Amino acid sequence: MAFQTNVISSPPQVSVTQYTVHTGLSDWSSNVCDCAEDCSICLCASFLPCILACKVAQENGDSCCVPFLPGAMIALRTSIRSRHRIDGSVCDDWVIMACLPLCGLCQMAREQKMRG
């Protein structure tokens, strides 16, 4: 009985091809912490955030009452992102609006003003 041994002289070669998918999504026109980019929006958010939130909601085609509903600012941010095809996720929207609500509101207002 003869045993045959197979010796591998070199490991198999693997080639990886990377594909980039263009989704057509853009970024926000300004960073979430760029609040001072537009002084009028920044001042309104600082002293009258409910007025700015109503304006942002109305410009998005929603009721002025939307900002007063629980969780609605997250939904408003997601809606603006979808409308303008801005890259991101609902989780990103939640983090911004939970941790930096006034900065997020300013960013939405600046985006609407820029894309007006």
- State pLDDT tens for residues 42-64: 999 999 999 999 999 999 999 99
What pLDDT was estimated at residue 25? 86
Contact 86, 80 (CB under 8 A): yes
pLDDT digits (tens, 9 = 90+) for 3-36: 666 666 666 665 655 555 556 789 999 999 998 8
Q: Which residues contact 105 (CB under 8 A, 6 or more apart)?
A: 45, 49, 52, 53, 56, 73
Smallest CA-to-CA distance from 30 within 20, 21, 18, 38 is with 38
